Amino acid sequence: MSGLFITATDTDVGKTVITGAIAATFKARGLHVGVMKPIASGAVADGFGKLVAEDATFLMGAAGIGESERDLVNPLCLSPALTPAVAAVVSGVEVEIPAILKAYQVLAKSYDPILVEGVGGITSPLWQDYLLADLMAELALPVIVVTRPNLGTINHTVLTVEYARRRGLHVAGIIINGWNEGEVSILERSNEEYITHLTGVPILGKFPYSRAISEGEIQSVELAQLAEKHLQMDEIISIAKGR
């Protein structure tokens, strides 16, 4: 079983965009890629009253996965825009970790590799004392950390990587999201240098901000083209395949 776990230094860093871009590229290269968003909060009801997570919809579109598998891709969908453990309590729902692991196993029988996107940062509580890092440890996939280019990112990235290592997780790479090559200054360049120096983890790409992505107007093919241009996709595939 092969795949990647994509986490981030915080919420709203761009995990979904990066996971979708990698998924779209895997698909374009002929890999039978699967995607998973184990838990999503901040979901909205569709026309039939079913809670639907936009992140899961984006990932499914990028990987070419149909609606029939939504409940496997996103086994727990919560309405409150809160950390999952709190959103579940507010919703009167119990987070059943075994059910999430079962959904992953079912997906893994049909897809290879599997890209799993986390929620919030690595210590986000999923249920009671069970953190995102606990789920990551159970899945035992190589980890890619998505981070920002701006002020504060050195501290957030180093702490995330060090905590992951302390938990026995293999951090295989870092991707900087929201990079604008035409406007970078000594701030962004020095952040990149210090992140590499202090973590010893390779930066696997610097992904640009895209208005089309933020407005939901980008197609899977275009997303893959951006990833091929800005991410080290050969290396990312090797990591996912355990080479």
Distance CA 102, CA 233 (A): 29
Handedness of CA 94, 100, 106, 110 (dihedral sign): positive
The residue from 15, 27, 37, 206 that is catalytic is 37
* N residues, the chain: 243
Bridge pairing between strands 76-77 and 39-40: parallel
Q: Which residues pair with 174 in a beta bridge?
A: 145, 203
- The structural domains of the chain, with segments of one domain joined by +, span 3-240
Bridge pairing between strands 125-127 and 114-117: unpaired
Percent of the chain surpassing pLDDT 70: 98
Q: Is 37 a catalytic residue?
A: yes
Model confidence pLDDT, tens digit, residues 73-115: 999 999 999 999 999 999 999 999 999 999 999 999 999 999 9
Model confidence pLDDT, tens digit, residues 127-165: 999 999 999 999 999 999 999 999 999 999 999 999 999
In the block, tokens 């901000």 appear at 209
DSSP state of 67: G
How is domain 3-240 classified at the CATH fold level?
Rossmann fold (3.40.50)
Which tokens hold the place of 160?
């995330």
Is the entire prediction scored with pTM above 0.85?
yes
- CA nearest 182: which of 206, 157, 213? 206
